[in-house]
Chain A
Amino acid sequence: MLQCIFLLSDSGEVMLEKQLTGHRVDRSICAWYWDHAISQGDQLQPVIASPTHYLFQIVREGITFLACSQVEMPPLMGIEFLCRVADVLADYLGGLNEDVIKDNFVIVYELMDEMIDNGFPLTTEPNILREMIAAPNIVSKMLSVVTGNSSNVNETLPAATALCVPWRTSDPKYANNEVYVDLVEEMDAVINRDGTLVKCEIYGEVQVNSHLSGLPDLTLSFANPSILDDMRFHPCVRYRPWESHQILSFVPPDGQFRLMSYRVRKLKSIPLYLKPQLTSDAGTCRLSLLVGMRNDPGKTVDSIDVQFQLPPCVSTADLSSNCGTVNILSNKTCSWSIGRIPKDKTPSLSGTLVLEPGLQRLHVFPTFQLGFRIMGIALSGLQIDKLDLKNLPHRPYKGFRALTRAGHYEVRA
């Protein structure tokens, strides 16, 4: 049972306060939280015990969502709910920041009112909420000016609540029926200095953007579902067809949603290598980095960049590269953005690090974080076989895309 939700700006100001139960939570808790947050810095845990309440907090775009409770409850219930609140608000207001929340605080109150009552979450389905409270977009503003009806509350109650597909708006109509399926994967890898792969794993999502009229019934199948290690489904996915034939059968929500997320473990090949070399002697250290293709995925790899933290004992650093740009920030974070790998040369970065006086050799070593993006391929090898649509009057347009980017992709020195 959550007792109160606060929204705090990035300077700790209370932007919004929603009391949920008869027990009023005093605002002083926010001041306590803020002092605590400052003292903890980036070591702040999501679940904190204050002297009086248990606090759940998440931070999105500088805005802190803070929920208070005094009783034992499932922690994920609190955290998941706050995440959904943040998602719904971002969706409604077209982004999250201090101004947009202050300008639309009435809508935020209205939304919270429908999402949670007496501390218990009711519905967080964007489709249902949208039917209860209209989003403050330009169209509705125009409409209100033209028609003189300035209420942003829809006149009717959502019919979907009564249906068996609560996630779908009742009977949307589109002139152009289209559905897009995206495979978006993130590769996490840890590579040792000698190039051995410590661990490599892919976390992927099947994102669907559906604009289909009526109540379509979709089935999506993969060419090689056996490579998936574990998956989680949107509530619209029927479990039985997946269990028996590894087919995703579902009635999609309207608009963009995450149909499924999955994990693929124990991958053997990584697309890029990074070779760090550090030799230190007499108070200076030579650093050189080489980046290149290891296993060509067959598509262009772009947005390559390398980030690392210089050890605290380095007093000055002089680094240069043969392609891309190198930046060293005041907090000793160094970033090297390469972009695409040129055809004629191997990108390399080299230079000297001067250690603090008294130190002969470097004893702590940086970890290099590599970023990249590959369009048009899912590196796990997952392939969509086909997408069938039933219950549709016209043949819709179907689009497929794939994208892989680096998640935690790190190389140790």
Chain B
Amino acid sequence: MAPPGQAQRSPSPSQPSGKGEVSDLKAQLRQLAGSRAPGVDDSKRDLFKKVISYMTVGIDVSSVFGEMVMCSATSDIVLKKMCYLYVGNYAKGNPDLALLTINFLQRDCKDEDPMIRGLALRSLCSLRVANLVEYLVGPLGSGLRDGNSYVRTVAVIGILKLYHISAVTCIDADFPAMLKRLMLNDPDTQVIANCLAALQEIWTLEASNSEEASREREALLSKPLIYYFLNRIKEFSEWAQSLVLELVAKYVPSDNNEIFDIMNLLEDRLQHANGAVVLATIKVFLQLTLSMNDVHQQVYERIKAPLLTLVSSGSPEQSYAVLSHLHLLVMRAPILFSSDYKHFYCQYNEPFYVKKLKLEMLTAVANESNTYEIVTELCEYAANVDIPMARESIRAVGKIALQQYDVNAIVDRLLQFLEMEKDYVTAETLVLVKDLLRKYPQWSQDCIAVVGNISSKNVQEPKAKAALIWMLGEYSQDMHDAPYILESLIENWEDEHSSEVRLHLLTAVMKCFFKRPPETQKALGDALAAGLADFHQDVHDRALFYYRLLQYNVTVAERVVNPPKQAVSVFADTQSSEIKDRIFDEFNSLSVVYQKPSYMFTDKEHRGPFEFSDELGNLSIGADAADTVVPAHQVDANDKDLLLSTSETEKEDGRALSSNGSAYSAPLYDAPASVPASQIQSDLVNLTSGLSGHVPAASLAIDDLLGLGLSVTPAPAPSPPSLSLNPKAVLDPGTFQQKWRQLPISLTQ
């Protein structure tokens, strides 16, 4: 990634106010409004451009609204577009003035040119003024029946926009049912995809107050529909493919053959040029095979190569997003990636956040066979110029050591770090050596010899200092001058700013006292005195506690401070496995990038200082859709999280409230503006069936499917012969299953 250089970045420039210019513009526009002189369009265009450029830099030009509308009577399409843009921007703030635009927009909706019809319809729906919805229903209805697919695409999304302005109007006009019909019958795949997107959103939002809507929403996941989409998947645009795949990932197939058939059909999507499609496909594969252990592992094998290619081929931004997903998979099944460790080696000029992900993966995949090489590689980073990176890699070495592979070699490396005489390397290493000794006390001899040589003056970081002091206390019998080092540290008590270090110092000097009383007695006295006078509550309390303990009974005190210790076998993991499972279920979503399940960051409390309208609830389609359907084989992840389910109900409530709110403001529209719904439907049927030869074929395919049941490769829709990409699966089901059985599995657990 190449963000603009530090020096170039300055705070946002202040925006000019431009009051005088705006009133100038207003006068000029007024002059042109009625004029029909030749060339007037060109001067209008210049003025419009100025208005919009003011709007873009943030000057309020809403005062010329009236003039803009007056000038909008033109046949020039660029002028129209600029006008639509302007109107769309300011209509919400000026509902009364917006009424002025309705007239010319409605006229444009009946234009001969389909492009103008589409644009006008889009702008009409983008006004988003609640008291104008009555004017939307008519144009939208005819838009859905338009002969041109471009207009229909726009109309479908327009209905979604209408729903957000006034849900009641949308439902009353029976638009969802029309969308459904269009989705099943339209020859144009973009129309179908838009219908799917709109219906998913509408039905998810409606589900809470209508039985029918929630039934419809579930019907989207029914076999005939899923098959209908799958069979045409290659005709969809790449973005629509991602949408369909997202839906398929929630589908629960009836048996294993069906799972294999779907995977067979989708396997080539793994080699699509668009990363979004590849990841969506991977999600389908992972979700479908959750219940089949062996195949699930093979899926990992199969998706490894596409993921690694995506990481190396895209822009830095893309590869980061892919890497986050790879990171999730590696953390889930490190064994399966243990032979690919070289892919996680860091390149010198990668940004730090990428290197950090890679280091974590390297740590995770380390095992008996590759530890030596991985640790060698990590040591290279430790000696590198990049200081944060050096620190992270030392920590990684330590983590690998705690995983119990090849500890011997690693301890040697760590001790070499201590000899590098770089303060940050020493600091990080000390912390690690401390952890290592807690787990492997048998290494104390080797470590202590080296640690004893470190001058405490060179260690400044509190964590490292605390670690060093802990070792001095714990192994004071083996370290010749431990009492004296502690003594000199206590002499500088006043200069020690970190309370953590002072606490450790107290404990260490106590431990040392029980092992070598004569040498430590003076130091202990000084330490307790300094501790009792300390302003920090914890330090003070601990000093007091030790003091009274010693007063009470010295042997008891020894038992408390120096009990026989057991080696720590497992260090607590920072992230619980439930959370990891939850994130895995949300594969191909932001959760993966943030490494948090979505309920942790899409909750409302999270939202901060910026002001927001209550439309928030309306928009949360993506997150909700992910939660709405719970395939049976996800049970393991589901019953774990009470927290989640409460937050979900909260969300539901919020949504119900907000949609009620918008319903409240919806006015009744007068009957003449809309044709009775049933009539529209029958019109629609007549029209669409007359549209093209594709239609009967498509609906036939559905009937076939309903009858056929299991076969995933039904008759493809007939299309111009020489060009059709064959929608049939590449391999017959038997061969495909065979091929999958032969995929290598690194290790079966």
Q: A residues engaging B (CB < 8 A)?
A: 1, 3, 10-17, 19, 21-24, 26-31, 34-35, 37-38, 41-47, 49, 51-52, 54, 57-59, 62, 64, 70-77, 79-83, 102, 105-106, 109-110, 113, 117-118, 120-125, 132, 150-153, 155, 157, 161-166, 188, 190, 192, 198-199, 201, 203, 215, 217, 229-235, 238-240, 243, 251, 258, 261-263, 309, 311-312, 363-367, 369, 391, 408, 410, 412
Between A and B, 25 residue pairs with Cβ closer than 8 Å are: A1-B621, A12-B12, A27-B58, A30-B12, A43-B351, A51-B607, A70-B620, A71-B622, A72-B586, A74-B279, A80-B318, A83-B318, A117-B157, A157-B114, A163-B720, A164-B720, A164-B725, A190-B347, A198-B342, A198-B377, A232-B313, A263-B305, A364-B383, A408-B347, A408-B348
Cβ-defined contact, A151 with B77, below 8 A: yes
A residues less than 8 Å from B115 (CB atoms): 132, 153, 157
B197:A23 contact, CB within 8 angstroms: no
A312 and B385 within 8 A (CB): yes
CB contacts (< 8 Å) of A51 on chain B: these are 607-610
Known: A16-B56, A23-B615. A233 touches B272 (CB 8 A): yes
Assess whether B239 is in contact with A238, with CB atoms less than 8 Å apart.
no
- Return B17 CB to nearest CB of chain A, in Å: 15
- Shortest 4 CB-CB distances between A and B: which pairs? A51-B608, A230-B305, A46-B317, A239-B268
Do B114 and A408 have beta carbons less than 8 Å apart? no
- Does chain A have a CB within 8 A of B487? no
- Nearest-neighbour CB distance to chain A for B482, whole angstroms, equals 28
CB distance from B2 to the nearest CB of A (A): 6
Residues of chain B touching chain A, judged by Cβ–Cβ distance below 8 Å, are 1-4, 6, 8-13, 41-42, 45, 49, 52-53, 56-58, 76-78, 81-82, 85, 88-89, 92, 113-115, 119, 122, 128, 148-150, 153-154, 157, 160-161, 164-165, 188, 190, 194, 197, 234-235, 237-239, 242-243, 246, 268, 271-276, 278-280, 305-306, 308-310, 312-318, 320-322, 324, 342, 345, 347-349, 351-353, 377, 380, 383-385, 390, 420-422, 586, 588-594, 598, 601-602, 607-613, 615-616, 618-623, 626, 719-720, 722-726, 730-731
Give the CA-CA distance A37 to B8 in the complex, in Å: 12
A47 touches B385 (CB 8 A): no
The reply to whether A235 and B279 form a contact with Cβ atoms under 8 Å apart is: no
* Residues of chain A within 8 A of B598, CB atoms compared: 72
Q: How far is the CA of A262 from the CA of B273 in the complex (A)?
A: 11
CB-contact partner of A26 in B591, B610, B620, B719, under 8 A: B610
Which residues on the B side are within 8 Å of A57 (C-beta)? Answer: 317
* Chain A positions within 8 Å of B315 at CB level: 58, 83
Is the Cβ of A309 less than 8 Å from the Cβ of B122? no
Q: With CB as the reference atom, state the residue of chain A lying closest to B304.
A: A230
Q: Which of B52, B618, B720, B730 has the most CB of A within 10 A?
A: B730
What CA separation (Å) do A410 and B384 show in the bound complex? 13
User: Which residue from B52, B57, B76, B592 sits with its C-beta under 8 Å from A14?
Assistant: B57
Interface of B is mostly: helix
Complexed CA–CA distance, A162 and B235 (Å) = 10
Complex Cα–Cα for A409 and B711 (A): 50
Chain A residue, CB-CB nearest to B380: A412
| B239 & A77 in contact (Cβ 8 Å cutoff) | yes
Q: Known: A42-B1, A233-B273, A240-B730. Is A23-B613 also a contact (CB below 8 A)?
A: yes
Beyond contacts A42-B3, A157-B148: 17 other A-B pairs, Cβ-Cβ < 8 A, are A1-B622, A13-B57, A27-B58, A51-B607, A62-B8, A75-B324, A76-B588, A83-B315, A105-B53, A120-B239, A163-B723, A203-B312, A231-B271, A243-B268, A312-B385, A363-B383, A364-B385
A217 touches B722 (CB 8 A): yes
Cβ–Cβ < 8 Å partners of B318 in chain A:
76, 79-80, 83
Given the interface pairs A49-B594, A71-B619, A161-B190, the reply to whether A41 lies near B6 with Cβ below 8 Å is: yes
Residues of A close to B52: CB separation below 8 A? 105-106, 109
Q: Which residues of A contact B347 (CB under 8 A)?
A: 188, 190, 408, 410
Question: Smallest CB-CB separation from A29: which chain B residue?
Answer: B610
A contact residues around B114 at 8 Å (CB): 157
* B122 surroundings in chain A (CB, below 8 A): 113, 117
- Looking at the assembled complex, report how far the CB atom of A2 sits from the nearest CB atom of chain B, in whole angstroms: 11
Q: Whose C-beta in chain B lies nearest to the C-beta of A52?
A: B610
Verify A12–B383 contact, CB threshold 8 A: no
Q: In this complex, which of A123, A215, A251, A258 has the most chain B Cβ atoms within 10 angstroms of its Cβ?
A: A123
Of all chain A residues, the one with the shortest Cβ separation from B57 is A14
Whether B317 lies near A58 (C-beta < 8 A) is yes
> Which residues of chain A are near B190, meaning CB under 8 Å?
122-123, 161
